[in-house]
């Protein structure tokens, strides 16, 4: 009798797991079938000024691809970066592709987060009817990327946290009044599925976790305040065609332009945090169901794999850390 109820309990657990899986799958599919609401943010100001979006880290990779897609959708784009020459090249490329659009450059080193930086940015953009902000800038800073935290100097860590967390936060604080005034407005951020807590990139991983929580807080804040601002945080897996990765694309690793299309298609999906690319979403589904020891094993395994592909300077690599 008790054996019977035990096995029927297990059966019910199986059914429950299947149902949860199915709901997740349906959610993933239905989110990707919903039409994009990007055009909501494509409106002129009462005094007739055209809509602009600021994209940070727009001189390469995902930021450049997003800028291109936004321009194709009718937005004028402020291209942010730190290298004027590189940005000028991107500007001329995008101007040629989208002759009806305007582009403007914003130069700022995103590892520098002094108050004057943001005062200056606000001044430079004050004449624009900004209806969107894409906090895309980020990455591993000037470092070697894959190493245990003790290999990072205080400056390395500060750079990474500034670049991925503090700079976007201060930028939102600076531009929120503008976005509120120009609403409906869109506030996006480029995070990473490494926000789950990945070794050998711990400062980066944690900064992306911060950025995700920031988006969740802001989404609720915006609702409480009654502002018509959509907060959309992107959890991103591997993307190729970026500065640090030129490998062949695969099911789990789209090219930046393909990824950018998927991102804009998710606008208006109703959730503040999304995995915009289906291949990345598929990759992360099993993680939610695994026992933590298996999850640890899988993450460690994939980091060894990535480490061996990317690590060009073994001095601070995982192997060095292991033999210490
Ligand atoms: N590619 C991936 O597999 C992947 C995966 C998960 C998340 N992400 C996230 O996606 C975002 C874009 O990355 P990406 O792959 O497109 O990289 P990317 O090709 O290296 O582009 C990064 C952009 O940010 C700019 N940037 C970097 N450091 C800066 C600084 N200190 N000040 C100002 N601008 C700076 C770069 O400028 P320069 O051209 O001057 O370098 C470039 O425009 C990042 O937030 C990254 O964390 C990427
Ligand atoms: C800036 O970009 C140009 C053009 O891509 C490149 O040649 C130059 O090395 C870059 N400068 C720095 C400091 O990275
Ligand atoms: C720390 O920064 C220095 C100088 O920018 C760099 O050479 C080094 O690789 C970085 N270390 C790590 C672990 O990222």
Q: Is 312 part of any domain?
A: yes
Provide the domain limits for residue 110: 37-321
For the domain that residue 50 is a member of, what is the CATH number? 3.40.50.720
Confidence of residue 313 (pLDDT cuts 50, 70, 90): very low
Q: Which ligand is nearest to the CA of 92?
A: 2
Query: Which ligand gives the minimal distance to the CA of 156?
Result: 3
Number of domains into which the chain is organized = 1
157 lies in a domain? yes
**Ligand 2 site, residue 82, Cβ cutoff 6 A:** no
Q: Sorting pLDDT into bands at 50, 70 and 90, what band is 319? A: very low
The DSSP code for 163 is I
pLDDT for 308: 61
Q: Is residue 17 in contact with ligand 2, taking CB distance under 6 Å?
A: no
The tokens of 262 are what? 């998927």
What's the pLDDT tens digit per position in 228-265? 999 999 999 999 999 999 999 999 999 999 999 999 99
CA-141 nearest atom, ligand 1: 28
Helix-helix angle 202-225:167-181, to 10 degrees:
20
Classify residue 10: in a domain, yes or no: no
DSSP lists the bridge partners of residue 129 as: 51
The answer as to whether 32 is a domain residue is: no
Q: What is the mean pLDDT of residues 33-41?
A: 90
Residue 290, domain member (yes or no)? yes
Residue at 69 is within a domain: yes
CA of 144 to the centre of ligand 2 (A): 19
Instruction: Report how far residue 239's alpha carbon sits from residue 280's, in angstroms, rounded to the nearest whole number.
Output: 10
Q: Is 82 in the pocket of ligand 1 (CB under 6 A)?
A: yes
Say if residue 324's pLDDT is above 60.
no
The ligand that comes nearest to the alpha carbon of residue 159 is 1
Does the beta carbon of 131 sit less than 6 angstroms from any atom of ligand 3? no
| Residue 219 within a domain | yes
Ligand 1: residue of 242, 276, 277 to mutate (most ligand atoms within 8 A of CB) is 242
Nearest CA to ligand 3 atom 13: 152
Q: What is the pLDDT of residues 275-312, one digit of tens each?
A: 999 999 988 877 777 888 888 888 888 887 766 655 54
Q: How far, CA to CA in Å, does 57 sit from each of 87, 130, 134, 181?
A: 10, 17, 9, 25
Is 21 part of any domain? no
The answer to whether residue 318 scores a pLDDT higher than 70 is no
């Amino acid at each position: 009798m008790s054996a019977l109820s035990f096995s029927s309990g297990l059966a019910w657990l199986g059914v429950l797991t299947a149902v949860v899986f199915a709901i997740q799958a349906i959610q993933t599919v239905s989110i990707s079938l919903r039409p994009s609401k990007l055009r909501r943010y494509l409106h002129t100001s009462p005094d007739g000024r055209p809509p602009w979006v600021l994209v940070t880290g727009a001189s390469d990779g995902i930021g450049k691809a997003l800028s291109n897609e936004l321009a194709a959708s009718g937005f004028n784009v402020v291209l942010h970066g730190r290298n004027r020459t590189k940005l000028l090249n991107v500007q001329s490329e995008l101007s040629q592709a989208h002759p009806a659009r305007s582009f403007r450059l914003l130069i700022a080193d995103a590892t520098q987060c002094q108050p004057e930086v943001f005062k200056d940015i606000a001044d430079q953009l004050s004449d624009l009817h900004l209806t969107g902000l894409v906090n895309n800038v980020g990455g591993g800073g000037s470092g070697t990327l894959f190493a245990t935290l003790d290999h990072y100097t205080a400056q390395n860590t500060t750079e990474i946290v500034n670049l991925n967390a503090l700079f976007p936060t201060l930028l939102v604080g600076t531009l929120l009044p503008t976005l509120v005034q120009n609403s409906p407005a869109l506030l996006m951020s480029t995070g990473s599925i490494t926000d789950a807590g990945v070794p050998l990139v711990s400062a980066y991983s944690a900064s992306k976790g911060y950025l995700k929580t920031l988006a969740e807080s802001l989404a609720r804040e915006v609702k409480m305040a009654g502002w018509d601002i959509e907060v959309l945080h992107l959890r991103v897996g591997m993307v190729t065609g970026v500065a640090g990765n030129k490998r062949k694309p695969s099911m789990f690793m789209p090219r930046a332009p393909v990824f950018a299309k998927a991102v804009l298609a998710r606008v208006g999906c109703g959730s503040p945090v999304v995995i915009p690319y289906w291949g990345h979403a598929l990759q992360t589904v099993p993680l939610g169901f695994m026992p933590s020891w298996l999850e640890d094993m899988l993450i460690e395994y994939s980091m060894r794999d990535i480490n061996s592909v990317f690590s060009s300077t073994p001095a601070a690599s995982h192997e060095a850390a292991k033999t210490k």
